[in-house]
Amino acid sequence: MARITAIVGLWALLVSAALAQTKPVATMSFDNDLNAVGPGGARSAFPIGKPDLAAGKVGKALKSGPGTGYVEYATEGILNIAAGTVEMWVCPLDWTPDEEKFHVFFETRGEGALYLYKYYQGT
């Protein structure tokens, strides 16, 4: 009986966790172009320089850096300074983790700031 109760309890926990999930407010798949897509529709990308789309682990990927450029997006209605998640895959192409340089993967500024980067010292 205790085993059935535990299984039912675990099932209820998983179902409630699944129902509580929210959809991303913006997804940049880079499979077709640089634009983002979210529940509110398409969000235009603003390329700085000439960022490139290259073969990725799954589909295409953004190739970005000093030699190519990067992409900016308007953040109004997307970023919540109180909570949120940023998820990405990073693959170093022309550098190694032990080199002593900063590598910025994501940044947002405004009311507060968020930076995801590789620090210049160490891995």
Q: What is the pLDDT of residue 48?
A: 92
**38 domain-assigned:** yes
Full domain range(s) for residue 37: 23-118
pLDDT digits (tens, 9 = 90+) for 54-112: 988 889 999 988 889 999 988 887 777 788 888 888 888 888 888 888 888 888 877 77
**17 domain-assigned:** no
**1 domain-assigned:** no
**31 domain-assigned:** yes
pLDDT digits (tens, 9 = 90+) for 21-60: 578 888 999 999 999 998 888 889 999 999 999 988 889 9
**Partner residues linked to 104 by β-bridges:** 117
Please give the Cα distance from 46 to 60 (Å, whole number).
18
Q: What is the pLDDT of residue 50?
A: 93
Domain tally, the chain: 1
**3 domain-assigned:** no
Q: What is the pLDDT of residue 21?
A: 59
pTM of full prediction above 0.75: no
**4 domain-assigned:** no
**49 domain-assigned:** yes
Residues 6+ apart with CB under 8 A from 119: 102
**43 domain-assigned:** yes
**Partner residues linked to 38 by β-bridges:** 41
